[in-house]
Amino acid sequence: MEITGGNIMTHRIHRNGLIFAATILLGLSLADIALATPSFSRQVNADCRTCHFQSMHALNKFGRAFKSNAFNLNKQMRQELNQRRKSKAVTDRVG
């Protein structure tokens, strides 16, 4: 079989397409990891587990309330956060 310019070009297009698709798939597979940012944690000096379960893949009750409140703390949430801080401070001193 004779290799012609058309066959080489087709091969390159397919190869480049596969490389592009693999790059996109890799990027999408890593996107889930990159979505979470600790900005809330930094702003209010709270642990990530304030909003997330230990596995970090799902929001707990507090996290769902925070999300449904457009990522803002209402008065009740602030009180709960302050209570968690006090409890953690006591635990840190004892443990």
User: What is the pLDDT, as a whole number, of residue 78?
Assistant: 92
pTM greater than the 0.95 cutoff: no
**CA 60 to chain centroid:** 15
User: What does the alpha-carbon distance between residue 64 and residue 79 come to, in Å, rounded to a whole number?
Assistant: 16
Residue (of 82, 84, 73, 74) closest to 49 by Cα position: 84
User: What is the pLDDT, as a whole number, of residue 77?
Assistant: 92
Q: How many CB atoms lie within 10 A of CB 43?
A: 9
One digit per residue, pLDDT tens: the chain, 95 residues? 555 656 777 777 788 888 988 888 887 776 655 455 677 788 778 888 888 888 777 889 998 998 899 888 899 999 998 888 888 766 666 65
User: What is the pLDDT, as a whole number, of residue 79?
Assistant: 93
Question: What letter does residue 70 receive in the DSSP assignment?
Answer: T
Lookup result for tokens 């009180």: 79
User: What does the alpha-carbon distance between residue 31 and residue 15 come to, in Å, rounded to a whole number?
Assistant: 24
User: What does the alpha-carbon distance between residue 92 and residue 29 come to, in Å, rounded to a whole number?
Assistant: 37
User: What is the pLDDT, as a whole number, of residue 31?
Assistant: 61
